[in-house]
């Protein structure tokens, strides 16, 4: 193999007259480089959007969320809660109750996702970092308060400086329905707006209303041990997977324990599918680019017929001659891939630090420029794909070389 590599290297880099074959070879290598750079840039941008979405949700979603596998609610006793808190891998446990209710404010009404939270919720999440107006508070010691999604507050036409209360209605869980007096079939509570928040996700910003968990229990006829979810904060340095197993061993069966990715499974599944389809499309383009090398290598083989006969007379076997030209074609693709990697990583680095490529005018988006996040796995994947396709495209014309 050492002799074949030396001969292939000489064909590629030795001083020679520049002719059409060399031009086509250079174009073939450049095409591979351009597609390789494009793959690195596109995959890094998609990674960047994934990281951005994860950061947005991490301000609101806990490390782990525990819900019932069947039904809406479950019972959590103080003993079980203390068992969870006694685990060294768990820092905080917060109770919450989430249910659909009707919000009414000055002739405007709309269904909302009412989420009752306890005092631990603010410590467990980054809710205070995403407050856009007012402050985070669900009970001030005298009055019930509410923190609304920014879009929901706009739809209701309410702001933090309004002095009128929001009325919240929910149907009673028990008792017969009174058809003559429909109003008595509902529980109602009043609360005053304390602030608005923005996760920059429609399902939160336009639907969610945070209130005190005691208000929610009164409104929905829940007792003090009944919840719809437990929010868990994992201690720093501990594995999420190991913590899930520890929790499952305490609670037993019948509970769904989800990490941040599983809590937003639909979003991350869409991102994965988009990345997969984009990768396949770019691989197809790369396939076309690498197979352009078949023509240039075939022309080189024709140009080197005299060298082939000379090497054959000197004792070179057909397999040796084939390896020479396979290595020649492979090196052409490898050089293109190396150049593409350098260019692609350079563009990503510039985009990350200077944000050269903007998203519109930046005003209507969460970020002003395309986010990028280069991952080692993507670099490895692109490199392997380019080299494998390069080897395949070199083998097709090289296998017909005979002395």
Predicted confidence (pLDDT) at residue 328 exceeds the cutoff of 90: no
pLDDT class for 359, splitting at 50, 70, 90?
A: confident
Average the pLDDT over each of 50-64, 197-211, 277-291, 302-316 and give the range with the smallest value. 302-316
Q: Give the pLDDT score at 360.
A: 66
Q: Give the pLDDT score at 182.
A: 66
Q: What is the mean pLDDT of residues 221-239?
A: 93
Q: Give the pLDDT score at 166.
A: 95
Predicted confidence (pLDDT) at residue 216 exceeds the cutoff of 80: yes
Q: Give the pLDDT score at 292.
A: 75
Q: What is the mean pLDDT of residues 18-26?
A: 72
Is 19 exposed, middle or buried (CB count within 10 Å of its CB: 0-12, 13-18, 19+)? exposed
Predicted confidence (pLDDT) at residue 22 exceeds the cutoff of 90: no
Q: Give the pLDDT score at 64.
A: 95
Domain layout of the chain by residue ranges:
2-58+267-398, 65-263
- Round to whole Å and give the CA distance between 171 and 366: 37
Q: Give the pLDDT score at 174.
A: 75
Q: Give the pLDDT score at 165.
A: 93
User: 0.75 cut: is pTM over it?
Assistant: yes
Predicted confidence (pLDDT) at residue 21 exceeds the cutoff of 80: no
Q: Give the pLDDT score at 200.
A: 83
In this predicted model, what pLDDT tens digit does every residue of 375-390 receive, in sequence order? 999 999 999 998 888 8
As a whole number, the mean pLDDT across the chain is 87
Beta bridge partners of 147: 195, 210
Predicted confidence (pLDDT) at residue 19 exceeds the cutoff of 80: no
Predicted confidence (pLDDT) at residue 175 exceeds the cutoff of 70: no
The larger pLDDT score, comparing residue 6 to residue 167, is at 167
């Amino acid at each position: 193999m050492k002799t074949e590599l030396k001969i292939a290297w000489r064909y590629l880099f030795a001083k020679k007259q520049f002719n059409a074959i060399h031009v086509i070879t250079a174009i073939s290598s450049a095409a591979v480089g351009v597609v390789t750079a494009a793959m690195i840039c596109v995959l890094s941008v998609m990674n960047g959007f994934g990281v951005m979405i994860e950061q947005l949700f991490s301000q609101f979603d806990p490390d782990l969320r525990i819900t019932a596998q069947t039904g809406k609610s479950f019972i959590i006793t103080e003993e079980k809660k203390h068992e969870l808190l006694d685990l060294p891998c768990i820092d905080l446990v917060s109770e919450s109750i989430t249910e659909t209710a009707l919000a009414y404010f000055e002739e405007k009404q709309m269904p909302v996702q009412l989420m009752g939270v306890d005092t631990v919720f603010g410590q467990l999440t980054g809710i205070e970092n995403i407050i856009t107006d007012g402050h985070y508070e669900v009970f001030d010691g005298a009055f019930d308060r509410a923190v609304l999604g920014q879009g929901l507050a706009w739809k209701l036409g309410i702001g933090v400086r309004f002095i009128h209360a929001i009325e919240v209605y929910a149907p009673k869980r028990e008792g017969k329905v009174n058809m003559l007096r429909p109003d008595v079939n509902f529980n109602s509570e009043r609360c005053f707006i304390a602030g608005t928040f923005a996760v920059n996700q429609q399902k939160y910003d336009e639907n969610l209303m945070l209130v005190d968990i005691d208000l929610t229990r009164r409104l929905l006829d829940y007792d003090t041990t009944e919840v719809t979810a437990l929010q868990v904060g994992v201690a720093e340095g501990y594995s999420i997977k190991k913590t899930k197993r520890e929790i499952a061993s305490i609670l037993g069966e019948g509970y769904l324990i989800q990490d941040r990715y599983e809590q937003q499974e639909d979003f991350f599944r869409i991102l994965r599918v988009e990345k997969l389809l984009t990768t396949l499309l770019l691989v197809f383009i790369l396939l076309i680019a690498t197979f352009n090398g078949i023509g240039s290598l075939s022309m080189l083989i024709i140009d080197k017929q005299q060298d082939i006969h000379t090497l054959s007379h000197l004792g070179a076997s057909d397999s040796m001659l084939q390896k020479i030209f396979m290595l020649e074609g492979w090196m052409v693709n490898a050089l293109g891939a190396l150049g593409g990697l350098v260019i692609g990583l350079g563009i990503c680095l510039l985009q990350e630090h200077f944000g050269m490529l903007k998203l519109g005018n930046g005003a209507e988006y969460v970020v002003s420029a395309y986010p990028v996040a280069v991952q080692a796995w993507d670099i490895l994947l692109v490199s392997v794909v380019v080299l494998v396709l390069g080897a395949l495209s070199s083998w097709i014309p090289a296998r017909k070389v005979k002395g």
